Amino acid sequence: MVYLSAVPSIGPLLSGRPHRLRSPVTRPGQVIVLAFAVALAVGTALLMLPVSVTDHPPADVLPAATNAAGGATALDALFTAASAVFVTGLVVVDTATYWSGFGQVVILALIQVGGLGIMTSASLLVVLLARRLGLRSRMVTSASLGALSMADLRRVLLGVARIAVGVEAVIAVVLVLRFVLGYDYPLGRALWHGVFHAISAFNNAGFALYSDNLMGFVLDPWVCLPLAAACILGGLGFPVFLELRRHLRTPRRWSMNTKVVIAGTVTLLVVSVVTITALEWNNPDTLGPLPWTGKLLAGFFAAVVTRTAGFNSLDVAAMNTQTWFAQDVFMFIGAGPASTGGGIKITTFAVLLAIIVTEVRGGTAVNIFDKRLARSVHREAITVALLAVALVMAGTWTLLIMTEFTLDQLLFEVISAFATVGLSTGITHQLPDAGQLLLVVMMFAGRVGPVTLASALALRSRRLMYELPKERPVIG
């Protein structure tokens, strides 16, 4: 029995009891959820300060109120902080006129930290200052980056930082030049607007410093195209970026993840551009009055931002119901894994599609790009999709009970929040307080991931060291 006490994991096996593997550290999912919650609390507190609000917030764009001290109300601050740190872009007060310069800086900081990921940002800061990471920090950061290997994590973190800063800097320079040369902005205003919108675009946040978002630039390719490029690049995911840096000219060496994300991004982009442009081509309130070149530009921009970003150069509330439904699908699928975008992710959708095709064809193994998928990947994809569907259905049903809005409006709002997109049919600020809190929960769940959130909320985790007999029910 000396050996049993020295190796306590053997005892339960010999005694016939289920064996539980206890992790010596907190599960990464719990740390990620807690980190986002802390960031949300800090952001809410900062936005409630009187200095975060303009002296006399106008109420002509969106209704606004202040607390007793002159700052934002707790709900407005919470919703805005959640929308920023979860890189969504839904608003209940006008970003351009309600928040002061300090408040807008807080929002921008939350967007940058939330886009990179709380643990990634914190670990990067530790690497830059202390030049080392502990084991727990490495495990959690690896999980937040999409289960990348912990080997040489410092190099990965620095690579992520270079990608983010590099893309944002290039986009900001283009926007600053356009604002100065095309709109006669003073240099200071041009710099602020260029930097703000570049960071908001790359992080797929959708916040803009204009009351009509980007509708004033609907025909300006020098504003819309750079922002669209930043949204697409941010939605690819850092694992794809890092692999393309090494093997850009040798596609045969790309991993399945990179191939699926790139192929899925191109396919979804083409389908969404054709669908949205065709459905809105003759709509007198959206594409109808524009010249054909403007229709193509606005249709392309609308398709790009629908999947992840949340900017709008067209009035979403004036779009056809058919367009809303198509956008629901594109938003729900979303961007690449470990990216600044949301949704169930392109890879999840691709795996589900491959499973269906294989089952219909009577195959036994699910293959993608001449590689076989592990059974665990099947379960993960199905779990993510079904949890996402359950959250969206529950959220929509709850809002149907507490409001008088139509099903298509509420479904659009809930999917936009869960997929951290930020598009709205214009009802966000009209929802009751409980409805806005529900959207905060949806943004939280969508950003950290339904599986991560569910595992973090689990009271305990155990792994059984035995299997039960197999039996199958009748399916279909």
Percent of the chain whose predicted confidence (pLDDT) is above 70? 80
Q: What would the 3-class secondary structure string for the chain be?
A: CHHHHHCCCCHHHHHCCCCCCCCCCCCHHHHHHHHHHHHHHHHHHHHCCHHHECCCCCCCCCCCCECCCCCECHHHHHHHHHHHHCCCCCCCCCHHHHECHHHHHHHHHHHHHHHHCHHHHHHHHHHHHHCCCCHHHHHHHHHHCCCCCCCCHHHHHHHHHHHHHHHHHHHHHHHHHHHHHHHCCCHHHHHHHHHHHHHHHHCCCCCCCCCCCCHHHCCCHHHHHHHHHHHHHHHHCHHHHHHHHHHCCCHHHCCHHHHHHHHHHHHHHHHHHHHHHHHHCCCCCCCCCCCHHHHHHHHHHHHHHHHCCCCCCCCHHHCCHHHHHHHHHHHHHCCCCCCCCCCCCHHHHHHHHHHHHHHHHCCCCCEECCEECCHHHHHHHHHHHHHHHHHHHHHHHHHHHHCCCCHHHHHHHHHHHHCCCCCCCCCHHHCCHHHHHHHHHHHHHHHHCHHHHHHHHCCCCCCCCCCCCCCCCCCC
Q: Which residue has the higher pLDDT, 292 or 376?
A: 292
pLDDT 10s digits, 233-289 = 988 887 888 788 888 888 888 888 899 999 999 999 999 999 999 999 999 999 999
pLDDT 10s digits, 205-232 = 999 999 999 999 999 999 999 999 999 9
Please give the pLDDT value at position 316. 95
Mean pLDDT over each residue of the chain, to the nearest integer? 83
Q: Which residue has the higher pLDDT, 447 or 176?
A: 176
Q: Which residue has the higher pLDDT, 230 or 458?
A: 230
pLDDT 10s digits, 120-151 = 654 444 444 444 544 444 444 454 454 444 44
- Model's pTM, two decimal places? 0.85
pLDDT 10s digits, 297-330 = 999 999 999 988 889 999 999 999 999 999 999 9
pLDDT 10s digits, 186-207 = 999 999 999 999 999 999 999 9
Kindly tell me if the per-residue pLDDT of 11 is higher than 60.
no
pLDDT 10s digits, 55-67 = 765 555 566 666 6
Please give the pLDDT value at position 461. 56
